[in-house]
Structure 1
């Protein structure tokens, strides 16, 4: 009987935790849905339902500061895996493929919000890559 009560408690707790995650409000095209789901599984409790921030210290990711020119895909991957002084590492909660999908979702969401890298910066990056 004690094990049964404990099992009920565990299942109820897990259900409660997952039901508290903010629900996405942005409708995304099919190629980004897995990334959106991964984001909501791993990131949304702190970064908000659509990466727009919350009333926590976690930053809003739909912001110029996190565009690819300022914060590369590798920077995002590194931060998700290893955390920062204010963010715990998530490597036990997400697979490498899920991180890639989350990054693609974030980049799509930034564009959908009207945020895009400056063309001059993109041209400079291509130019310097071609000169290497």
Structure 2
């Protein structure tokens, strides 16, 4: 077998092992990610191979809480991903256009109030034009998009159930356009370089 074929084979084996591990981690923690519409268990075998084994994804799969929420180092990346992948339907500030608004306390799918629910909708899709995004965004990118969506929330922090108590104390409803720093310290800083 040539070195390039062996490398591809090893990469595929590594990706498959990562998927099995993610599924096992999520099940061990008691988290079962389900399709928002059908309720079927989501199949992470379909996800893009990159971005599955980041520390953020591993933490999310065990806790169901997005570790990138309110992490300034992840917001600029999340904003860029949201603008390219989501804003066409949900608006530049998640105010809603073809798709529903995502920056207030009303959720078309009430489970999206939780990080686990919002991730499941992004990954597996919703109704109408909201198709599954697992072939457009990596799992890690989905978490960054979610952090940006949560950042755009314009209502009182008490209505932001996804925030920790500490985050809720410092949370300020989104007031409008802002300039984000290029590389503040945080969980996503190394990925931004």
Normalised by the length of structure 2, the TM-score is 0.41
Figure out how many residues of one structure are paired with residues of the other and give that number: 90
Alignment of 1:1-132 (within 5 A): 31-54=74-97, 56=98, 58-66=99-107, 71-86=113-128, 87-110=130-153, 113-118=154-159
The 2-side partners of 1:42 and 1:109 are apart by: 16
Instruction: Give the superposed CA RMSD.
Output: 2.9
Unmatched tracts of structure 1, length 5 or more: 1-28, 127-132
More helix by share: 1
- Map of 1:130 onto structure 2: none
The ranges of structure 1 where at least 4 consecutive aligned residues each deviate by more than 3 angstroms after the TM superposition are: none
1:69, CA displacement in angstroms? 8.2
User: Considering only CA atoms, is the larger Rg found in Structure 1 or Structure 2?
Assistant: 1
- Give the secondary-structure state (helix, strand or coil) at the position aligned to 1:84: coil
**Contact 2:112 / 2:121 at 8 angstroms: preserved in 1?**
no
- Give the secondary-structure state (helix, strand or coil) at the position aligned to 1:98: helix
The 2-side partners of 1:115 and 1:73 are apart by: 18
1:42, CA displacement in angstroms? 1.3
Normalised by the length of structure 1, the TM-score is 0.58
Unmatched tracts of structure 2, length 5 or more: 1-71, 166-193
**Contact 1:69 / 1:117 at 8 angstroms: preserved in 2?**
no
